[in-house]
Amino acid sequence: LLDMGPLSPMMLLPLAVIVPGLSAFGPPFSICPGLRGTGTMRRSQNSEFLTKRVESCSLAQRSALHAEASGPLTRTIVLAENKMAILSDAKGLGFIEGVLRLPLRWFLMACLFALRLTSILAHPVRFLLAFRKLSAPPSAISPHSPTTVPSPIISAAISMTPSVTSATMTTRREANEQKKRDMLVFGGKMCSDDEMAALETLEQKVKLMLIAKGDTAMGTQMDVEWLRNLSSVNLIPHLRATGRNIDKTCANILRTACWRQSFGVAQLMQNSSRWKLEGFFDSHGAEREVDWLPEFAETNGARNPVLLYRSAKHTPSGIPENQWLKFFVYQCEWARTRYPAHQVVLLVDRVGSGISNQDPTVLRALAPIIQDHYPQLIGKIYIAPVNPVLSIIWAIVCIILDDETQSVVQLISGDDWMLDLRALIKAKWLPMRLGGDLSESAELAWAAGERHD
């Protein structure tokens, strides 16, 4: 009933050896109490006296009594000896009977109950030990330790118990890193493992730079708020511009923060109405020569902002140079803030443009700002149409340019330049002079729309 299993014979075996030896201690009471009151040995004064005399006699004296006695006396002597033998046997069996009746019985039951209780308590202990061993990391298990196979019950329980092992944590960490890497895409290019590692180091150095210089006198000379708000996506173009050189990237970021403070970029963005497309040209009484095309203007479906520049409407001395610089800085800041993971596509409309519309002074002042403080902002430059003279000049300039810079600029020339341009920009957003479907009146109405917020 107690379901001791293999422990039952092990427990009863020492009892079978010990109990027979306990008979030497004498009986507390007789195993056969009825013998004292049976009808076989009826007590009388003579028989009792004779029995006592026989019990007190030695073996030689008993033999003499048998020789002298006869008849009833002989029968009385024999009965007395039989009684002595019975009492002698009962003397050894009485203790066993008493132990079996009360003490040993309760002792056995107590032992069996204790073993059963230990067996019941051992189940959760074995379960916890097996669970701990299975959930331990592989490095915590000695290669020389024996391999234990858990029982089906324990295996089922463990399978239902959510355990976080080192392998599971590693898998989750890799999944989170991969998810973060998939989210870190700039200019249509996903971050590599080397870039992720360099980016983490760069973020730590930027934080240390803020702590070291944010509260000092130099902190008043740089745009601390811009440094605090730099995200991983904002740091990627700076990192790629230096070829993942972390020290050089940190130096460039520090210079950019100082330039932004001296140029007043934060104040420029606060007074946005003056530098928006809708307000800049109207305030100077000039024709609108720059505009942003609607989103997804490219045929490839990218969300890159496309800036249309009409060079034929530019007057070199019409607007002061410093005003042009602030205007273009505002446009660069707007594009990087609204499209942080994208690059600007610049479409240069050269239809009707001549030498009188060229203004190299603004370009010379603007180029270093974009290169140093807005790295990799310009993703592609389409120039259309291009005459043979400009093609020759560009071929000469390419000698001193690297391959990456050459791949940014694309000259669209030839008799089919309109078809080539339509393959890059959607026709519904291209003016008819560039081979698109947008009429001049529709272009003016579209340009006057309030879209640049």
Residue 280 CB neighbour total at 10 angstroms: 21
Phi and psi angles of residue 178, each rounded to the nearest 5 degrees, phi first: -65, -40
Q: Provide DSSP, 383-444.
A: EES--HHHHHHHHHHGGGS-HHHHHHEEE--STTHHHHHHTTB-GGGSBGGGTSSB-HHHHH
360: cis peptide before it, omega within 30°?
no
Residue 9 CB neighbour total at 10 angstroms: 10
Q: Give the DSSP H or E segment for 384.
A: strand 378-384
**278-284, long-range: CB < 8 A, 24+ apart:** 278/448, 278/450, 278/452, 280/323, 280/327, 284/318, 284/319, 284/323
Residue matched to tokens 């660069």: 332
Q: Rounded to an integer, what distance in angstroms lies between the CA atom of residue 147 and that of residue 136? A: 13
Q: How far is CA 295 from the centre of its chain?
A: 36
> What is the structure's pLDDT at 164?
47
Q: Of how many residues is the chain composed? A: 453
**Higher confidence at residue 286 or residue 63?**
286
Residue 393 CB neighbour total at 10 angstroms: 11
Tens of pLDDT, residue by residue over 44-85, are 445 555 556 656 666 666 666 655 555 555 666 666 666 555
Tens of pLDDT, residue by residue over 350-393, are 999 988 888 888 889 999 999 999 999 999 999 999 998 889 98
Residue 182 has pLDDT above 60, yes or no: no
Buried b (16+ CB within 10 A) or exposed e, 148-174: eebeeebeeeeeeeeeeeeeeeeeeee
> What is the structure's pLDDT at 440?
78
Residue type, 157: A
Q: Rounded to an integer, what distance in angstroms lies between the CA atom of residue 277 and that of residue 279? A: 6
Instruction: Tell me the torsion sign for CA atoms 163, 134, 169, 208.
Output: positive
Question: Do strands 306-310 and 185-186 pair parallel, antiparallel, or not at all (unpaired)?
Answer: unpaired
Confidence of residue 162 (pLDDT cuts 50, 70, 90): very low
What average pLDDT does the structure give for the chain?
A: 74
Tens of pLDDT, residue by residue over 407-448, are 999 999 999 999 999 999 999 999 999 999 988 777 767 666
384 token code pair: 């259309």
Residue 41 has pLDDT above 70, yes or no: no
What lies within 8 Å, CB to CB, of 53 at 6+ separation is: none
Q: Out of 108-122, 158-172, 411-425, pick the least confident.
A: 158-172
440 token code pair: 């001049």
Phi and psi angles of residue 287, each rounded to the nearest 5 degrees, phi first: -70, 150
Q: Rounded to an integer, what distance in angstroms lies between the CA atom of residue 89 and that of residue 32? A: 10
Judge contact between 265 and 223, C-beta under 8 A: yes
Q: Which of 86, 92, 105, 107 is nearest to 28 (CA)?
A: 92
Q: How far is CA 297 from the centre of its chain?
A: 39
Q: What is the 3-state secondary structure (H, E, C) of 156-170?
A: HHHHHCCCCCHHHHH
> What is the structure's pLDDT at 284?
86
> What is the structure's pLDDT at 393?
87
Work out the average pLDDT over 224-235: 93
Tens of pLDDT, residue by residue over 327-342, are 999 999 999 999 999 9
Residue 318 has pLDDT above 80, yes or no: yes
Q: Rounded to an integer, what distance in angstroms lies between the CA atom of residue 299 and that of residue 306? A: 12
Confidence of residue 269 (pLDDT cuts 50, 70, 90): very high
Residue 2 has pLDDT above 80, yes or no: no
- The percent of residues in the chain predicted with pLDDT above 70, rounded, is 58
Work out the average pLDDT over 93-110: 59
> What is the structure's pLDDT at 345?
96
Q: Please tell me what DSSP assigns to residue 142.
A: -
Work out the average pLDDT over 258-273: 93
53 token code pair: 């005399």
Q: Rounded to an integer, what distance in angstroms lies between the CA atom of residue 406 and that of residue 394? A: 10
Strand partners, 139: none
Q: Please tell me what DSSP assigns to residue 345.
A: E
> What is the structure's pLDDT at 432?
93
Confidence of residue 405 (pLDDT cuts 50, 70, 90): confident
pTM score, two decimals?
0.60
Confidence of residue 213 (pLDDT cuts 50, 70, 90): confident
CA distances from 148 to 9, 133, 136 (A): 28, 9, 14
> What is the structure's pLDDT at 214?
64
Residue 132 has pLDDT above 90, yes or no: no
